Amino acid sequence: AREQITVSICDLQGSVIVRETERRLFETCREQLDTIAELHKSVLSNVPPSAIMVSAAATATGFFLESGQKLISRVDPLGWSKVNLRDWLQELTGVEVIIENDARVVAADILDTSPYLDFLVVFLDYGIGGAIVQNGQIVRGKHGNAGAIGRLFPHDSARPTSQSLRAELGVDDWRFWRSSSQLSSKQSQALEAWFDSASYRFNYALTAALALLDFEAVYICSQIPEEYLQELTKRIHIEPLGANIPLKEGAMVD
């Protein structure tokens, strides 16, 4: 991601053996690739010599230029357009690599326990990611970019992202956030303004998405504290199709 790169090694049951993370605001593709290589070398030094790596997967923000291979990040679009990330990672790791959009990874996790078969996932991080699940299957599309819900939100400073909320509250990292009891009067006002703006934009974007995808539920996921995500969802009201069409005198579609 733009502010964080994590490299983990897990066993075949998915339990993490070793994990290392580098947190800073990355500016170039080269800087991110070098960091991945450094972290990869470091985590390998912490596993048993007898361990054998059998496969690798990468999750990333951005959109695919070539499905599963080239991914464009806002960190450095031109730089990333010149890199076949899948090939680069396979050369680094020496095993087959799968690359997936981060929001789809979240959707795959939700799919295991969701009571719904048709839903939309919105992932708020530095930007706004999305994933579509229809009839219990994740939709990828021709170029691997299906579900780019972020395109329905204006690209300005008021975009409802985890980063924009942190900026409003003056929070560098959610890991160090405890509760709303920390809020000053100024922060409380900023938070309320963010909720108003975010819910307005979500209402518009999700009502438009409903007309195209006919989903039955929306999951909004983020590192934003749960209490704030819950408050945001309370303020989102999606207009059903035909809500403004009277079916009989004095009645509207519900």
Residue range 166-187, pLDDT digits in tens: 999 988 888 888 777 778 889 9
Which residues touch 68 (CB under 8 Å, ≥6 apart)? 86, 98, 99, 100, 144
pLDDT at position 99: 93
Q: Among 109-113, 148-152, 177-181, 200-204, name the one with the lowest average pLDDT.
A: 177-181
Q: 21-51 as b/e, with b when 16 or more CB fall inside 10 Å? A: ebeeebeebebbbebbeebbeebeeeeeeee
pLDDT tier for residue 217 given thresholds of 50, 70 and 90 = very high
Does residue 7 surpass a pLDDT of 60?
yes
* Nearest one of 212, 71, 90, 191 to 129, comparing CA atoms: 71
What 3-state DSSP class applies to 57?
Answer: strand
Rounded Cα distance between 130 and 207, Å, is 15
The per-residue pLDDT of the chain, averaged, comes to 90
Rounded Cα distance between 133 and 110, Å, is 10
The share of the chain scoring above pLDDT 70, in percent, equals 96
pLDDT tens digits, one per residue of 55-100: 999 998 888 988 889 988 888 999 999 999 999 999 999 999 999 9
Rounded Cα distance between 254 and 248, Å, is 12
Rounded Cα distance between 236 and 209, Å, is 14
Q: How do the residues of the chain divide into helix, strand and coil, expressed in percent and rounded to 5?
A: 40, 25, 40
pLDDT at position 181: 76
pLDDT at position 203: 94
Cβ(17)–Cβ(52) under 8 Å? Answer: no
pLDDT at position 183: 84
Does residue 252 surpass a pLDDT of 60?
no
